[in-house]
Structure 1
Amino acid sequence: NSSPDVGISMGCKTIPYIFVDRQPDLCRIGRELRNEAAIAVDVEADSLFHYHPKVCLIQIATPSKNILIDPLAIESLSELIPVFSDPGICKVFHGADYDIRSLGRDFGMEVNGLFDTQVAAAFLGLKETGLAGVVKERLGVTLDKKYQKKDWSRRPLPQPMLEYAVKDVLYLLPLADTLRAQLKAGNRLFCVEEECRRLSRVRAVEGNPHPLFLKFKGAGKLDARSLTVLEAILKFRDEKARDMDRPPFKVFGNAQIQKMVREKPRSVNELLTRGCLSPGQTRVFGHALCRKINQAMHLPESVLLTYPRKTGKRLGSKASDRVKALRKWREVQAREMGLDPALICSNAQIRVLAVLNPETSDDLKTVPGIRDWQRALFARDICDVLHSV
């Protein structure tokens, strides 16, 4: 099981890895990891295959070891909690948001000492910030991502998937070193460090929003009857997905739901003839789904759903002028720094600045949502732009 003799072929050399699926071996690995200065981490989950997603594999790389941990075979991962919570051990992730939420949800882990190479790539102005793109750009290595969307809950995991998992962390430590040096040279490392501290505090949100249409694109443009039909269909899909233990989009997709909301089929025959569902989907779900749609269509006007609207005040003419001036400044600054304009200052931040209109650098400290690094780099520019309006 936990054998250091397993390896993957990388050209003319073999990269060994340890597969851990027994509690005693995890305890030993946990103790060893506490002595590391930095570890690379990645997580594979099964969100594309099950209603309740779970972490199915944890990959860890140190300068001397590559480790695959099977959380489905091990009773407790508590031995890893001190490792991940220790800010003295740098944890290198790429695109850490989902992984941090998943580790917290499934194992109660907190990640401190985070360095996210995707965030670092964004602050260096890389156009492609996915792992494969950054590794190719900075290290000249081509990664094959074909197993990214496979079912990681299957057991045993095939050897090619294990090899893929090792490669996903194999280059993170040298990549982090390269990016960190470039950030430091460009006086941007402190920006990434602050963003990583904020990112390390994200947590999973349990359950679905109520009503479900709040997370459905285009729901805000629907009339009350259509919105009520949409909610009925979404609830039906969610119930079936839960019963079948599959993600809702694998029951039927959002494009199909949009068509049903437009067409409002009242019978199984209409579901088919109007092309709302496939014959197989119609056979399995048709009768029950049509009952839900019909119930929504017969509800009185007084109980129909309405989309909640934000009641924020409209900007005055002066504030609108400040928004325009800040956006113009942002575009110029982004070009000079070679960064995405939204990274310099988001639209939400610009609106808050335009409304509060801080006059000094000290005033900027009271503006909610403005980062310390933004104040350090842009405080004088922002105040000058606001004064000019």
Structure 2
Amino acid sequence: MDSSQDFNSLQEGIQKALISTIKSANRIASHDLAFQRTVNPDVAEQLDDQTSRILDLSTRLLSSAAKACGVKAPKLEDPEDVDMNWRKVVDVVDSVLEKADRALDEYTGLIKQRDNGDSDSNSKTKQAKSTSKVIRNANVKKPQLDFEIPPNNFPDGPWKPLLTEKPHAKVPLEDSLVTFVGDNGTTQYKHPYEPEILSMQYPDRVFQVLDPIPPQPVETTSATWVDTYEGVLEMLQELKQAKEIAVDLEHHDFRTYIGLVSLLQISTREKDWIVDTLKPWRHKLQVLNEVFADPTIVKVFHGAYMDMVWLQRDLGLYVNGLFDTFFASDALHYSSRSLAFLLSKFVNFDADKRYQLADWRIRPIPEEMLFYARSDTHFLLYIYDKIRNDLVQVSDRSNPDKDLIGRVLEKSRELSLSRHEHPEFNEETGEGSRGWYNFVLKNSHLGYKSEQFAVFRALWKWRDVTARTEDENPNFVLGTNNLVDIARANPPDAKALHSLLPLTAALARSRVNEIWSQIQELKAQGGPTLLQFFTSRDPATLRHNAAAPRATRAQNAALKMEEAAIAAKLPRSQLFGDVAVSSRWDGTKEAEIAEEEDYFPFPWQRFVEDITDYVPVAEPVPAEETVKEPVPPPEVEKDEEFTLRRGQKRKSEAIENDEPSPSEDESASDNDEEMEDDNRDSNAVIEIEAEEPPPKAARKAKKLEKKRKREEAKKAQEQQHLELRTKRQEEKLARKAQRKTQTQQQADTGDRAKYQAVPFDYSKAASVLHAKREDTKAAAPEDKKKVFDPYAKTGDDEIKPARRMPPIRGERSATFKK
């Protein structure tokens, strides 16, 4: 048996075993295992044994696959480990599939084969031993208290960029710091580097396939810690010599209102730096714009959505020449877009993401946390080389649909134009990045009553003001889930409110009287229920107040407590357009239905309030103007009396022209006439007259007169048909005589031709061998059947009319029979 047969038999055996296992697992899953485990101890023991065996087999299989791909396999000790390590299981399976795909592509020649020094053959990168506990919320002094430019949580205008200089500028700084009105109606400053970013062209090397440059060994090198301004200037001189740099940030937002950039990691091909960005002079780091704003130096980030905003908000840094590896991973359809996956895929590095949410304000930073921070940028340039080569190989620059590298760069360019804006909160509508509107929109099932909704809004407002004053995160002041529970409970007094506050909310527990007074004040003012609030945000209600500016629309949208939560039905569907719901609905009924029926608007209806094809509803006229005298109902005209009588038979012109000719069978004509007389009543025409019916004798005389006229017309028509038929017969006899004369002339011509000498034609000679057969054939009578002649003139034959269809018997109506 050859190897192919061995593989086929092995494949069939594995497939049969897999199908049997799946069937057994499905049968087991259909039973109540928890009940069986409780009732029968033996079943519980067997289930535990099988679970341990399956977990052991799964772990061994994952380990074998992970070893072949150079990734780390999870260890499954109990069923809970499957859910906890499911992401790692998926990564192992994806790595196996990707390796198989790449092997097939290399075999078929679609891509170039890997070199011997590829990352798959390298040994596992070592990393420092991680600590058992990660500090998430350290009890340290707030570093923002020492900043030379402290954060402003109560702004009185739009956020203004921190720039004092603008390196690599095409438009001067003074001309770049201009304002505009955004989509939400607020005034904002434009991106100061917008002209430079829009006109920037990426270097040609970005569109070329180049050999990846491996990173420096992480075991023998270390990152440079920068915590002085002089160290920043030294780092800047080395960064100017690089063609690509990798950048990442570590952010903290739990003990501050707007957040803090705690670390700035920068790596080149030769060196790594970790910059302390919590120093009082942190705003001076904008000097790094000499590199960050240089379009000839490519800045490599991964997932820089928030990094762009944080850099300009805290450090005054703007990125021109961004390459985001997240967009590249998405364009290449990787199974995962995370940086941890890319590190595992390209450099076999297992990043410990437990430190992603660590408190990066800790000083000095532990060695394990520094190693994690360094790993985010140390390998990123090598990943950039690999992923850029893959993009260039599969891209077609001449086809925009297949230009993946161009698409990734365009998305990166758009991301670098992100701007920071102050977090807003509208107390009336709850809109804004720090408002409660988005929360209640996602949790509209809460169904707060009027007082509950007032408690909810009062707590949210107090929490936001306190967080801004103390420079704390709103969730640190009071958790959102705790706020929702308190609003649902609607405490009757301050003591009950205090008992509902969690022990971790120290600021709220110490100010319970302040919170209670604000709740009481808002309750006294009254307010809508959650249902009424959504109704007030209905497009019809907002459009009714469209004359007011957008900024003051919230004040006009408020509902009075005594009003019901109703809204007029729109005359045109905002979602489906002019779609007829039913044929019973016409224009005269729409207004009545809109007034009688109520409806609850969907929360998303506010997003279609600005459509252009909206037909406004006419506003109701005041009650005093609509009072009119009652209009008497219109008089109904009485129907005049009329009588139905039997009418006389009237033939149509088509029937009269189709009368049969007298040459037809006389018996058939007689039968038709009898049938016509018998069924005269069935073909009668009903006439409606208003006068009294005539006497019986007059009716009979009139009937006889019509019958006589009809017989005379019939005789005249028969005479006309007879004359026409005679004329046609004479013409036919003349044509026959003419044809006979022509035939005689042709025969005479043939006799003269017999005496002329012609060569003998053997093909037409009589057969000697089959003489009897031909004699029999000649003696047989000729077939008298007329042969079809396609060249005959059909116009020579006379026109034969169609036979009249006899009347139907047995279905005569007796509706008007006397």
Return the TM-score normalized by structure 1: 0.71
| Aligned residue among 488, 492, 508 for 1:262 | 488
Query: Aligned residue for 1:204?
Result: 420
| Aligned residue among 449, 456, 467 for 1:230 | 456
Does the residue aligned with 2:525 lie in a helix, a strand or coil?
coil
Distance 2:423 2:307 in 1: 18
Distance 2:262 2:307 in 1: 11
Alpha-carbon deviation of 1:138?
A: 3.8
Query: Aligned residue for 1:314?
Result: 574
Alpha-carbon deviation of 1:134?
A: 2.8
Query: Aligned residue for 2:265?
Result: 59
1:343-354 matched pairs, under 5 angstroms: none
Alpha-carbon deviation of 1:65?
A: 0.4
Distance 1:110 1:229 in 2: 42
Query: Aligned residue for 1:130?
Result: 338
1:299-350 C-alpha deviation (Å, 9 max, x unpaired): 134899946747498244599xxxxxxxxxxxxxxxxxxxxxxxxxxxxxxx
Are residue 277 (structure 1) and residue 510 (structure 2) matched? no
Query: Aligned residue for 2:430?
Result: 213
Distance 1:243 1:317 in 2: 48
- For the structure 1 residues 317 and 58, does the alpha-carbon distance in structure 2 shift closer, same or farther, using more than 3 Å as the test? same
- For the structure 1 residues 112 and 240, does the alpha-carbon distance in structure 2 shift closer, same or farther, using more than 3 Å as the test? same
Alpha-carbon deviation of 1:30?
A: 0.9
Asked whether the equivalents of residues 50 and 245 of structure 1 are also in contact (C-alpha less than 8 Å), the reply is yes
Are residue 292 (structure 1) and residue 518 (structure 2) matched? yes
Does the residue aligned with 2:430 lie in a helix, a strand or coil?
helix
| Aligned residue among 24, 27, 45 for 2:233 | 27
User: Based on CA coordinates, which of the two structures has the bigger radius of gyration?
Assistant: 2
- For the structure 1 residues 157 and 300, does the alpha-carbon distance in structure 2 shift closer, same or farther, using more than 3 Å as the test? same
Distance 2:477 2:221 in 1: 41
Identity among equivalent positions (%) equals: 30
Does the residue aligned with 1:58 lie in a helix, a strand or coil?
strand
Does the residue aligned with 1:72 lie in a helix, a strand or coil?
coil
Alpha-carbon deviation of 1:289?
A: 2.1
Query: Aligned residue for 1:81?
Result: 289
Asked whether the equivalents of residues 219 and 227 of structure 1 are also in contact (C-alpha less than 8 Å), the reply is no
- For the structure 1 residues 255 and 9, does the alpha-carbon distance in structure 2 shift closer, same or farther, using more than 3 Å as the test? closer
Are residue 181 (structure 1) and residue 181 (structure 2) matched? no
Q: Which protein, 1 or 2, shows the higher relative CO under an 8 Å CA cutoff with sep ≥ 6?
A: 1
Q: What is the aligned length?
A: 313
Does the residue aligned with 1:146 lie in a helix, a strand or coil?
helix
Are residue 18 (structure 1) and residue 221 (structure 2) matched? no
- For the structure 1 residues 22 and 271, does the alpha-carbon distance in structure 2 shift closer, same or farther, using more than 3 Å as the test? same
Query: Aligned residue for 2:318?
Result: 110
Does the residue aligned with 1:35 lie in a helix, a strand or coil?
coil
Alpha-carbon deviation of 1:144?
A: 0.6
Does the residue aligned with 1:13 lie in a helix, a strand or coil?
coil
Asked whether the equivalents of residues 92 and 114 of structure 1 are also in contact (C-alpha less than 8 Å), the reply is yes
Asked whether the equivalents of residues 266 and 290 of structure 1 are also in contact (C-alpha less than 8 Å), the reply is no
Unaligned segments of structure 1, at least 5 residues: 1-7, 320-350, 357-389
Alpha-carbon deviation of 1:279?
A: 4.4
Asked whether the equivalents of residues 23 and 74 of structure 1 are also in contact (C-alpha less than 8 Å), the reply is no
Distance 1:23 1:110 in 2: 19
Are residue 248 (structure 1) and residue 474 (structure 2) matched? yes
Distance 1:309 1:137 in 2: 49
- For the structure 1 residues 59 and 230, does the alpha-carbon distance in structure 2 shift closer, same or farther, using more than 3 Å as the test? same
| Aligned residue among 404, 407, 410 for 1:194 | 410
Asked whether the equivalents of residues 498 and 512 of structure 2 are also in contact (C-alpha less than 8 Å), the reply is no
- Name the stretch that deviates more: 172-181 or 263-272: 263-272
Does the residue aligned with 1:45 lie in a helix, a strand or coil?
strand
Return the TM-score normalized by structure 2: 0.35
| Aligned residue among 338, 342, 358 for 1:150 | 358
Unaligned segments of structure 2, at least 5 residues: 1-126, 130-216, 396-403, 541-572, 580-607, 614-818
Distance 1:138 1:264 in 2: 55
Larger strand proportion of the pair: 1
Asked whether the equivalents of residues 285 and 316 of structure 2 are also in contact (C-alpha less than 8 Å), the reply is no
1:160-180 C-alpha deviation (Å, 9 max, x unpaired): 222221111112111122222
Paired residue type of 2:486: M
Does the residue aligned with 2:259 lie in a helix, a strand or coil?
coil
